[in-house]
């Protein structure tokens, strides 16, 4: 089954596409290459042994520089004047040094100097107050957990590959945080009419206690009046049958579906949902 529009829009079970960000990043790298800015970096690699990966490597330092520059720009916007600008004299608010903070990211631990203001009203958006992890790290942890790794395996993997040490409790909170979103998505209201609904199942690896087992994920995909496909729901069960599919159809009806013109499935006769249930 192909990736649907629901997945592209970024619902809890999909991976949001980011073509714009990728294109922008590639353009920035190309501009740096054309300007020769990376030639000096490669010279340092050959001459001074500059590390490109791991703690103290070039990527973490680059991320640190970009984040701190962005935070400084946010504070300037908040105060309304540049650092050292005479226009700031007599202002009711001003810069007040910085606070050290360590941010866990996909390239390792990043020590940051987060700027402050005297009034304490500065709320950075780039690295929000209280944030200790970059968003991409949370997504990586959820992805590893969904792939069948245990919390302890994820701990060791992050420490070995990124040098990032997170507690068992922190990783558990991250993996549990998506459960409420998944439940809300599974119970969301649906359209009254879907011209076509596809019912199918595929085998996936599911965590069952301390083990990972193969189970069948039963999927209902609806095509709306504009021809757009939507994943209506996903149900995990050991086996399929007419009673199970009848329950799926009853749930879809309770969530708002009133009419379906065509139901496509590859079930056996004794597994197909009854017309009454649908």
Report the distance separating Cα 230 and Cα 227, nearest Å. Answer: 10
Three-state SS for 103?
Answer: strand
In degrees and rounded to multiples of 5, residue 98 shows phi and psi of: -150, 165
Tokens for 233? Answer: 């729901």
> Residues 45-77, buried b or exposed e (16+ Cβ, 10 A)?
eeeeeeeeeeeeebbbeebbeebbeebbebbbe
Decide if pLDDT at 217 tops 70: yes
Predicted pLDDT at 185: 82
Please give the C-alpha separations between residue 65 and each of 45, 59, 69, 95, 184, in angstroms, as whole numbers. 19, 10, 6, 19, 39
How far apart (Å, rounded) are the C-alpha atoms in residues 110 and 68?
A: 11
Mean pLDDT, range 13-31, rounded to an integer = 56
HSE (CB half, 13 Å, CA atoms) of 240?
25
Token pair listed for 126: 């780039």
- Assess contact for 255 and 189: CB atoms under 8 A: yes
Give φ, ψ of 77 to 5 degrees. -65, -40
Instruction: Please check the confidence at residue 245 and state whether its pLDDT lies above 70.
Output: yes
Distance CA 138, CA 153 (A): 15
pLDDT at 250 over 50: yes
What's the alpha-carbon Rg for the chain, to the nearest Å? 26
Of 26-40, 113-127, 179-193, 219-233, the least confident: 26-40
Could you identify the residue written with the tokens 């590859």?
A: 266
Distance CA 226, CA 195 (A): 10
Give me the pLDDT at residue 266, please. 74
Question: Is the pLDDT assigned to residue 106 strictly greater than 70?
Answer: no
Question: What pLDDT shows up at residue 5?
Answer: 43
- pTM of this prediction? 0.44
Give domain limits for the chain: 139-185, 190-265
Give the closest residue to 1 by CA, choosing from 146, 190, 194, 200. 200
For the stretch 159-203, pLDDT in tens is 766 566 667 776 676 667 666 777 788 888 999 999 999 998 887
Percent of the chain surpassing pLDDT 90: 18
Looking at residues 37-48, what average pLDDT do you find? 71
Quote the mean pLDDT of the chain: 75
How much is the pLDDT for 262?
Answer: 94
**pLDDT (0 to 100) of residue 115:** 92
Q: How does 107-124 read in b/e, with b if 16+ C-beta sit within 10 Å?
A: bbebebebbeeeeeebeb
- Looking at residue 272, its pLDDT comes to 53
Structure confidence by residue, pLDDT tens digits, 53-94: 666 667 777 778 878 888 888 898 889 888 888 877 888 899
5-40: b or e for each residue (b if 16 or more CB lie within 10 Å)? ebbeeebebbeeeeeeeeeeeeeeeeeeeeeeeeee
Greatest distance between any 2 Cα atoms in the chain: 82
The predicted pLDDT at position 140 comes to 67
């Amino acid at each position: 089954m192909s990736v649907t529009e629901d997945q592209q829009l970024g619902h809890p079970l999909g991976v949001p596409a980011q073509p714009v960000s990728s294109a922008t990043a590639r353009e920035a790298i190309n501009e740096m290459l054309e300007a020769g800015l990376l030639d000096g970096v490669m010279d340092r690699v050959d001459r001074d042994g500059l590390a490109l990966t791991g703690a103290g490597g070039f990527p973490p330092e680059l991320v640190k520089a970009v984040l701190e520059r962005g935070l400084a720009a946010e504070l300037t916007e908040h105060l309304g004047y540049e650092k050292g600008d005479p226009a700031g004299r007599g202002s009711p608010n001003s810069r007040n040094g910085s606070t050290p903070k360590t941010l866990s990211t996909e390239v390792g631990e990043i020590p940051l100097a987060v700027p402050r203001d005297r009034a304490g009203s500065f709320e950075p958006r780039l690295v929000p107050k209280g944030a200790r992890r970059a968003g991409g790290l949370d997504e990586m942890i959820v992805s590893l957990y969904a792939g069948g790794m245990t919390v302890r395996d994820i701990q060791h993997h992050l420490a070995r590959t990124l040098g990032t040490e997170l507690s068992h409790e922190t990783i558990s909170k991250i993996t549990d945080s998506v459960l409420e979103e998944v439940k809300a998505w599974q119970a969301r209201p649906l359209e009254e009419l879907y011209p076509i609904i596809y019912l199918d199942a595929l085998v996936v690896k599911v965590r069952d206690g301390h083990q990972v087992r193969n189970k069948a994920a039963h999927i209902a995909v609806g095509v709306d009046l504009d021809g757009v496909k939507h994943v209506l729901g996903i149900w995990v069960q050991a086996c399929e049958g007419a009673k199970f599919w009848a329950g799926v159809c009853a749930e879809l009806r309770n969530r708002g579906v009133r009419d379906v013109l065509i139901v496509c499935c590859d079930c056996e006769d004794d597994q197909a949902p009854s017309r009454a249930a649908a």
